[in-house]
A = this chain, B = another copy of it.
Amino acid sequence: MITLITDFGLKGPYVGEMKGAILTINPEAKIVDITHSITRHNILEGSFVMEQIVKYYPKNTIHVGVIDPGVGTSRKGLIIEGDHFLVVPDNGLATLPLKHIRPVSVYEIDLGKIKKIIGREISSTFHGRDVFGPVGALLDLGYEPSRLGTEMSLEDIIRLDLEPKQRNDSWILKVIYIDDFGNVVLNLEDYEEPNYVEVRGLRIPYRETYGEANIGELLALKGSHDYLEIAVNQGSAKDVLNVEVGDELEVKLL
């Protein structure tokens, strides 16, 4: 099984070409579209979505993630092997899913090897179709990662800094995701459930579910992703707080 997470959008041929490259190598591949609507070039958002996905798929699933602003430069391509496979550019995208797959080895994809196996030119602009998709298809066919790349150290993978920080009695947290409903997800997972959360001078009640707040009212909760989340019942916390993915917020748990 191969899952696909990209920022290609749904309008053009890109997603279809990538699936075609996979199905040409392995016509029996079971491809699962996760999303192709990651905000363009937003590695953090992509990493968050990949993290959620690895938690809900069977072991040995191959997760291909392509948010790749550095395509055509010298950034590496990676195969990370653990409970699942991650096939991604080496730009931080692996940071969050790595926490859940117990990685045992990592390989730098060797474009020469890929080109030789699939017998097709590799463009400098579209590695989703020419590299990452085909690598996913080859792993799905049972190819050993060592035939597709060169082993490297797990220490050398590029990671985003997503540790929650403390300053006096506050947390300095990062917005790691905002969903279509405007719910704001922060990088805090392990915490004692408070009565209130204070953000930008707003005292926000901490609840179990969205429906416990009045319609239009702010609430904080442990979201379905296990992170601290700020929401508005049937509204948008993103709009109320005016934040974007990547922004920092000073947060007190009271």
Which of A1, A17, A56 has the most CB atoms of chain B within a 10 A radius of its CB? A56
Contacts known (A58-B24, A125-B223); A17 close to B53, Cβ less than 8 A? yes
**Majority SS at the chain A contact face:** loop
A129 to chain B, nearest CB (A): 7
User: How many copies of this chain does the complex contain?
Assistant: 3
What residues of chain A have their CB less than 8 Å away from a CB belonging to chain B? 1, 3, 5, 8-17, 19-21, 23-24, 27, 31-41, 48-49, 52-53, 55-58, 69-73, 123-126, 129, 177, 179-181, 208-212, 221, 223-225, 234
Our pick among B13, B34, B41, B210 for the contact of A125 (Cβ within 8 Å) is B210
Which residues from chain B contact A37 at a C-beta distance below 8 Å? 10-11
Contact check, B210 vs A24: say whether CB atoms are below 8 A apart.
no
Of the A-B pairs whose beta carbons lie under 8 Å apart in the complex, a sample of 20, sorted by A's number, is: A9-B179, A10-B37, A12-B35, A12-B49, A13-B35, A13-B48, A13-B49, A13-B52, A16-B33, A16-B56, A20-B56, A23-B57, A41-B234, A56-B129, A71-B210, A72-B208, A124-B209, A125-B209, A125-B223, A126-B224
